[in-house]
Amino acid sequence: MPRVRFKNQGVDMTVEEGTTILDAARSAGLSIETPCNAIGLCRKCRIMLSRPEQIAGIVSLGPPFTETDGTHGDVLACQSAIYGDVELLLENYADKNRSLRILSKGHTFSYDIRPFISKRFDGTHTKIIAGDEIVGEEDGDTTMRLYGIVIDVGTTTLVSSLIDLVSGAEVAAESAINPQSAYAQDVLARINFASKNDGMYILHKAFIDSCQAMLSSMSKKASIDLEQIYEVVLSGNTTMLHLACGLDPSPLGRYPYVSRLRGDEYLPAVEFGVSPFGLIYLPPVISAFIGADITSGVLASQLAGLPGITLFIDIGTNGEIVLANDGTLSATSAAAGPAFEGMNIVCGMRASSGAIETFKIAESGDSSYSVIGGGDAVGICGSGILDVAGELVRVGIVDKNGRFAASADREPLKRALRKVEGKPAFFITDEVYFTQHDARQIQLAKGAIRAGIEALLSKLGVNANSTNRVLIAGSFGYHLSEESLLNIALLPRHFAGKINFIGNTSQSGGIAFLLNADFRKSMRDIVKRIDKVELSNEPGFEKLFVQSLRF
Amino acid sequence: MTDMTKEELHRGLADAVVNMDEATSARLSEEAVERRYDAFEAIDHGLAKGMETAGRLFEEEEYFVPELLMCADALNAGVDILKPHIKRGKQDIRCKIVIGVISGDTHDIGKNLVKLMLSSSGFEVVDLGRDVPPQSFVDRAVEEGAGIIMISSLMTTTMEGMWEVVRMLEERGLRDRIKVAVGGGPVSQGFADKIGADGYSPNANHAVRLAAELAATLA
């Protein structure tokens, strides 16, 4: 049997002939990112051989290796079957993501503190009350020791807060990469992974382990016992909630896209290692593709109470859009695909160190940019990609149809406009560039969300220019500029000056659910009344989508 | 009327399609009819040639979906005028193709684009729509006497259904008479190989070439 060594991690193992590098890594508990679900498309699982000649012991499951694969010594982990001894250089996942931007704060509002869990001291014991029901008893007076947790379960990141249920204050916070993303990056890939073999078990366990680590770190920071935590609110998209609860998410991945969770429900919280009387609360779920994270956002932004017309948009791989018209809500989700996360973009990467995050072209034609972590640029992350596309459209390097111009009017732009494999591209540095192909990917992604917005507006018979305000929620949206969103026409020009970035409202709304139990009923009623629009069933949607592709 | 030769008129028709110019396409098609030029030739050597160029530009990413659709509108403006004048027996329909989105998935914009390119290249396309069960692909292909089944999916979670189509064809002993081609966002050549499909296409223009290749192996 061939011997496999992961040098940086000190792992030395033998595997069956034909095992892929990816499977070998996973069986050793090592993480390799596979955004495309290991089908050899995204090339993000590249791994280095410490001795390039050992490529002789690897058989490619995809296209045969070329000369350059051999000399550079990097292969795709998911497409490389091992037949001979190999030594591999795997970057530590944690190192790679240490600098990943995570947004933990979101817009909120003022409300009374009336948590679901309360305590009553009877002179000798303290009764623990959930709603109206006594669920347990502790010795002595513990009424001042009452805590809850909110976890924003994002597809990519986990954000958690430890909240004092007596004062309402956040006493500690912690965030982490969602460990499930190492197995399958996007929502659909994760549903797929969960449906195979012990996939569900692996994903659920990874999530629980990571939560336990966050909880224990927070309880140390705040010097409290985990036993003093009585409620855990999980705010997240519908798929993440299924996986967090250990529920099979496969119905979400197939038409008619049914969610087995309706939310506004309680489950025991034993797995989190909190008080034995602890409960999980799941806020109401809107639909299979519009989850509790959006419900939390609707609560945090007080959307249903706003006068006039408000659009709430969470921009991401799946863009969720809620339109409020004087308290009447309709919602939809648009499949934008992973381009905003830097996937399918030639020089795209996640928002971690080395990523260009902002970009601007001056009057002179000179361009400037900023890099996360401040070092040399190695790629472009989502916010940077939107800036680049927006600026190129603004200065006319890319036209309204998304086509690169043959030439530029200003000298610095002329120099930046070069060809890559015969096709036009714009060079930001000598290594980092934006191509015609990238422009097409951005058109598809932004077109999906724009079409969703237009569909909701037209269904309600509202014009874009009568919209009073636009709320951009979510961590990705928070890092975008109004300018770029308008330049690439992800949002209509009419929205200029009306756009507010409200941050991680999944988290801030989750905290509101934790601190005031009255919202649980009121939001359940609001969610029930939301008109859920399935875009693919809307007549004329295809035409709308095609129109929305224009910059 | 101008004094264009037949070849110049054909070139004009092709250019009208590439330039997304419906009015010119219609005007030149009428001219072809008035001059009693062969209508089939005007389509085949003129309009269809233009669509071929448009498809190539799309594959090279110079043109995008909206442009391709406008080219198709220009093509159809001409075809509508010329078609009634095609002499009987000249319409040689290429191989019949059954196309659809696999069950569980309702995203059909990509499939519609492939269908458009196939029909403007002379294939007869039977569109089963979206959320189509594997069994229906096989049954309809048999009923229609189709030589090729083309299946699309945008969702990783539904791709297994494509495999099922291949397996059903094998079970029914139809595998060498009906070719299977797959495409869509999460689909790759590697996946096509894995499930034993006969081809994979990364875009709508390539799909036309693939269909022609597969049709040739059937003849």
Could you check whether the bond before residue A256 is cis, i.e. omega within 30 degrees of 0? yes
pLDDT tens digit string along B83-136?
999 886 655 567 899 999 999 999 999 999 999 999 988 899 999 999 999 999
Domain-wise residue ranges, chain B: 6-85, 96-218
Q: Does the pLDDT at position A94 exceed 50?
A: no
| φ, ψ (nearest 5 deg) of residue A420 | -120, 120
Q: Does the pLDDT at position A37 exceed 80?
A: no
- B67 to A550: CB separation less than 8 angstroms, yes or no: no
Q: Taking a contact as any Cβ pair under 8 Å apart, which residues of chain B between 178 and 207 contact chain A?
A: 185-186, 188-191
Smallest CA–CA distance, residue B1 to chain A, in Å, is 35
**pTM here?**
0.91
- Residue ranges for chain B with pLDDT beneath 50: none
Confidence of residue A12 (pLDDT cuts 50, 70, 90): very high
Number of H helices, E strands in chain A: 15, 28
Mutate to test the interface with A, among B156, B187, B194, B200 (most CBs of A within 10 A): B156
- B109 to A542: CB separation less than 8 angstroms, yes or no: yes
CB A231 within 8 A of CB A115: yes
Share of chain A above pLDDT 90, in %: 80
CA atoms within 13 A on the CB side of A123: 0
Across A15-56, the runs of DSSP E, i.e. the strands, are: 46-49
Confidence of residue A39 (pLDDT cuts 50, 70, 90): confident
**Selection from A246, A101, A240 nearest residue A179 by Cα:** A240
Of B64, B103, B109, Cβ closest to residue A545: B109
CA-based torsion, A41, A44, A45, A51: positive or negative? positive
- B62 to A436: CB separation less than 8 angstroms, yes or no: yes
CATH T-level topology, domain B96-218:
Rossmann fold (3.40.50)
b/e per residue B61-89 (b: at least 16 CB within 10 A): bbbbbbbbbbbbebbbbbbebbeebbeee
Residue B104, chain A, CB below 8 Å: the answer is yes
Please give the residue that has the higher pLDDT: either B195 or A185: B195
Q: Does the pLDDT at position A95 exceed 60?
A: no
Q: Does the pLDDT at position A65 exceed 50?
A: yes
Q: Supply A6's token pair.
A: 């992961």
| φ, ψ (nearest 5 deg) of residue A276 | -60, -20
ipTM computed for the complex: 0.91
- B64 to A62: CB separation less than 8 angstroms, yes or no: no
- A403 to B156: CB separation less than 8 angstroms, yes or no: no
CB A75 within 8 A of CB A65: yes
Q: Which residues of B touch A61 (CB under 8 A)?
A: 190
3-state secondary structure at position A491: coil
Architecture of domain B6-85: Orthogonal Bundle (1.10)
The Cα A77–Cα A122 span in angstroms is 62
- What are A229's strand-pairing partners? A147
Q: Does the pLDDT at position A44 exceed 90?
A: no
pLDDT tens digit string along A434-474?
999 999 999 999 999 999 999 999 998 999 999 999 999 99
User: Which pLDDT value is given to residue A74?
Assistant: 82
Smallest CA–CA distance, residue B62 to chain A, in Å, is 6
Give the H or E element holding residue A280: strand A279-282
CB B184 within 8 A of CB B162: no
User: Which pLDDT value is given to residue A266?
Assistant: 97
- What is the mean pLDDT of the segment spanning A291-296? 98
Give the H or E element holding residue A531: strand A531-533
User: Which pLDDT value is given to residue A184?
Assistant: 87
The Cα A236–Cα A507 span in angstroms is 9
Confidence of residue A38 (pLDDT cuts 50, 70, 90): confident
User: Which pLDDT value is given to residue A509?
Assistant: 97
* CATH numbers and ranges of domains, chain A: 3-91 (3.10.20.30), 117-295 (3.30.420.480)
DSSP state of A196: S
CA-based torsion, A377, A381, A383, A387: positive or negative? positive
User: Which pLDDT value is given to residue A92?
Assistant: 62
Same fold for the pair B6-85 and B96-218: no
Of B62, B69, B157, Cβ closest to residue A253: B157
- What is the mean pLDDT of the segment spanning A94-106? 65
- What is the mean pLDDT of the segment spanning A50-78? 77
